[in-house]
Structure 1
């Protein structure tokens, strides 16, 4: 079994996930409302769910502090604890269960109701119903058993906490919040992750606010959760602005392309501006720069190919650079000594 770290002991590094439940489904005969994306951050509400453990080998992966993220060979078993909290002033009966999910149109979306797939068949919880007093929190152990004959590839799902509330007549509204599951299956090491920032487009919102749209392509073999920020300075002046946070929520499966949006300050003029966009997903980070000019009207301007990429060196690359420098220094030293002898 893989070693895990308790996230309660790492409170300073954890973004606590407590979400307001939104209507997810209704009783038969009533229209179902869209379910919230699992892991989507909302303001504190009636109840919530939070990941309490993460694997030791993902200490440097911010996604592992919020979602169940792992790569497993067939035949493996993992267990993770989640905490379900009652934030209301009344007792709540909370159902906990695994559900199917998918990534499309740049969003991680939980499928309606208790939709099943391979991952839900592999996933169980030790408490399917919790009776929580006001202000109480209860742990739930999530177990994922991967069959020995499982086909390689990535699966997506969610561990849902659900509360049903009474409506008018026979109508019952269901509210749920969830922790995302990104599970890669296959022999050997984890498949690589990567992305490119293909183009940067300036524009204005319907309300006239300047904004930047970056087209992101997932070039790796694992899903991405994009986050980041943008800074800018005048091309022909001293003015600087930012950082501005990228809009959260963009997710991409391998091979998919989707935009990341950054809305800027209304006081910024049309430019031209040099923008510096830094985006991150887990352990992967890239920074791109481009010169842009915002349109006057509420529309998108001309797309620009980024000028350059900057990527932080990983441990392997950094080690290679250090060894190269040391080897060059040693060679230079030997040449100096040889020259002095002659």
Structure 2
């Protein structure tokens, strides 16, 4: 079911300093930070499904589609970045994907998917600046409902502040996207619904792409935009950005920020949005407003009139020409 991956995967980091973990936090991909005063903990995925080795999401997160009654395992590696030995706890907890993107629940909250998951060992004592491995098992019940579910595999360390009675809790996680159903499950797909030119609070130009999830799997959209044909024929280097996770049937945005000195336009913009192996490009014309926002124009038509209207007009002209030709021929033969 799996193959070992030696490439570096992104680390997910979340640090909480409190007597207990409280509140909701979105998990965001980032590199493992340098050891803090209390050291740092990291976790990364070591395996991905053979069928998904070309999907960059599957090299960072646990992503799979499984029929009910299936069991899989994934190897993970945890890292102790502190200068002293530390005990790292590993466990699964609930997560969801909604309007705020991929969101983790409070502390060790459970959902259906997290109850199917376990980590062995659940605790590891790791020497200073060293790593240890563990195995994540997902055991899908035979009566599991179809659909995609979400969870997080956490690696956590807890330290007591000397004399303060406060616990410093640091945890890092790997997202889990599991689709349950026969075959390969519903495919991922997206559409770039709209592109808007606007300015941020500092007056710098921004381009916002609205992305619709029209498939059956959650998306983690990343995008690239290149502006060309600007004043004096100038162009920009590609600008990259990422958006929050988008659940099936929902929409989200990817916002691209530009240098405040960028001319207002007009510009030709090529906007490409990807998530895993899904890739869609939209070409638009835009001018950044002095304030507020304005919808970009599809560059497939110079006047903004939809292409299909031009097609209908062309067919009408052909039909009229054919009718005139028939009339002329009839007159000649009469």
The question of a shared fold, defined as TM-score above 0.5 by the shorter chain, is answered with yes
Task: State yes or no: 1:44 paired with 2:33.
Answer: yes
- The counterpart of 2:191, out of the listed 191, 196, 202, is 196
Q: Which sections of structure 1, spanning at least 5 residues, go unmatched?
A: 309-342
Task: State yes or no: 1:35 paired with 2:25.
Answer: yes
Structure 1 residue 90: Cα displacement:
2.1
> What is the CA–CA distance in structure 1 between the aligned matches of 2:12 and 2:152, rounded to whole Å?
14
- The counterpart of 1:17, out of the listed 10, 23, 38, is 10
> Paired residues, what number?
294
Task: State yes or no: 1:130 paired with 2:124.
Answer: yes
> What is the CA–CA distance in structure 2 between the aligned matches of 1:112 and 1:305, rounded to whole Å?
43
> What is the CA–CA distance in structure 2 between the aligned matches of 1:93 and 1:104, rounded to whole Å?
33
> What is the CA–CA distance in structure 1 between the aligned matches of 2:23 and 2:168, rounded to whole Å?
9
**Structure 1-normalised TM-score?**
0.81
Task: State yes or no: 1:237 paired with 2:216.
Answer: no
Residues 92 and 34 of structure 1, relative CA distance in 2, 3 Å threshold: farther
**Structure 2-normalised TM-score?**
0.83
- The counterpart of 1:226, out of the listed 221, 230, 252, is 221
Q: Secondary structure at the match of 2:290?
A: coil
> Contact conserved, 1:18 with 1:49, CA < 8 A, in 2?
yes
> What is the CA–CA distance in structure 1 between the aligned matches of 2:12 and 2:62, rounded to whole Å?
17
> What is the CA–CA distance in structure 2 between the aligned matches of 1:149 and 1:33, rounded to whole Å?
32
Look up the match of 2:159: 165
Task: State yes or no: 1:207 paired with 2:197.
Answer: no
> Contact conserved, 2:12 with 2:174, CA < 8 A, in 1?
no
Q: Which sections of structure 2, spanning at least 5 residues, go unmatched?
A: 35-39, 301-334
> Contact conserved, 2:285 with 2:297, CA < 8 A, in 1?
no
Question: Which has the larger displacement, 167-176 or 282-291?
Answer: 167-176
Look up the match of 2:63: 69
Task: State yes or no: 1:181 paired with 2:176.
Answer: yes
Residues 305 and 257 of structure 1, relative CA distance in 2, 3 Å threshold: farther
CA deviation digits over 1:222-246, x for unaligned, max 9?
Answer: 1001112110113553201020011
CA deviation digits over 1:39-65, x for unaligned, max 9?
Answer: 521452311100000010112211100
CA deviation digits over 1:244-296, x for unaligned, max 9?
Answer: 011x3421010111111111122211111111111100110011111111122
Look up the match of 2:260: 266
> Contact conserved, 2:220 with 2:246, CA < 8 A, in 1?
yes
**Between Structure 1 and Structure 2, whose CA radius of gyration is higher?**
2
Q: Secondary structure at the match of 2:155?
A: strand
Structure 1 residue 86: Cα displacement:
1.1
RMSD: 1.8
Question: Which has the larger displacement, 78-87 or 163-172?
Answer: 163-172
> What is the CA–CA distance in structure 2 between the aligned matches of 1:73 and 1:305, rounded to whole Å?
44
Structure 1 residue 35: Cα displacement:
3.4
Look up the match of 1:149: 143
Residues 48 and 249 of structure 1, relative CA distance in 2, 3 Å threshold: farther
Residues 43 and 244 of structure 1, relative CA distance in 2, 3 Å threshold: farther
